[in-house]
């Protein structure tokens, strides 16, 4: 079954309630609580829902935000960006290009060379160490 064909009930059963709330419903984990916010392990971060490769540890940096932050995606086509006007804010949401799962948000206050900060929920990621 393709990820796009899964029902909400199937996603919830596969991901569990907490991860489902973040990945499929656009929730956010609390800062400094996620598994990867301060991880320094080398490897590739994959989507926790569909296993698509999303980010490299080589572009991960400490933004001080309490969430895993990357200055660019592994491949420009692996992460979709869309307008998010929820919670009374205008932001850019980052989603998995394969399964449309919520990853986090993208901001323009990151480091060189891109100046971007992909602020991503640990619950949306699965690190495969290299």
By annotation, the residues acting in catalysis are 119
8 A C-beta contact, residue 130 and residue 74: no
8 A C-beta contact, residue 63 and residue 110: yes
Residue 115: CB atoms within 10 Å:
12
């Amino acid at each position: 079954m393709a990820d796009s064909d899964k029902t909400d009930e199937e996603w919830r059963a596969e991901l569990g309630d907490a991860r489902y709330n973040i990945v499929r419903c656009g929730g956010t984990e609390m800062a400094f609580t996620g598994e990867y916010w301060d991880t320094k392990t080398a490897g590739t971060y994959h989507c926790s829902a569909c296993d698509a490769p999303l980010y490299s540890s080589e572009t991960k940096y400490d933004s001080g935000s309490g969430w895993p932050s990357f200055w660019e995606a592994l491949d420009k086509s692996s992460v979709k960006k869309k307008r998010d006007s929820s919670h009374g804010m205008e932001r850019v949401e980052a989603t998995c290009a394969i399964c449309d799962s919520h990853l986090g948000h993208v901001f323009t206050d990151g480091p060189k060379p891109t100046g971007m900060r992909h602020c991503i929920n640990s619950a949306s990621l699965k690190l495969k160490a290299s």
